[in-house]
Amino acid sequence: MKSYFIKKSKALAHNRKRQLYGKLVQDAQVQAEKLQSRIGEVDELLKEVDNCLVVLETETTKLGEFELDSNDPVTEWEIKVRDSERVLGNLRAHDEELQR
């Protein structure tokens, strides 16, 4: 009689463990999928940032080579710098939003 209860107890414990580990594996798969999705979003954002940096570097090089008009030498450059900073700020804000 005692061995019957021991076997029954072991069988119940085994079934509970199997259910628990199955749920853990399923949760881990869901988390892995979410992580892969998140990595894809961040990769796209990094590509956008890289493109903006390339454009910013190109504009900076052009400004360095460009002879500014003597009447308004700084204003045009300041406007371009402000626009580039605004774009960079928007991208940083978007990056922070994705990191949350």
Domain segments of the chain as ranges: 2-99
Instruction: Say what the pTM is.
Output: 0.50
And the tokens for 33? Answer: 């999928």
Q: Are 85 and 39 a contacting pair, CB within 8 Å? A: no
* Cα four-point dihedral sign 17, 18, 22, 23: negative
The predicted structure's pLDDT at residue 20? 95
Q: How do residues 46-61 score in pLDDT, each as one tens digit?
A: 999 988 888 888 887 7
Query: 35-51: b or e for each residue (b if 16 or more CB lie within 10 Å)?
Result: eeeeeeeeeebeeebee
> CB–CB of 75/84 below 8 Å?
no
Band of residue 70 on the pLDDT scale cut at 50, 70, 90: very low
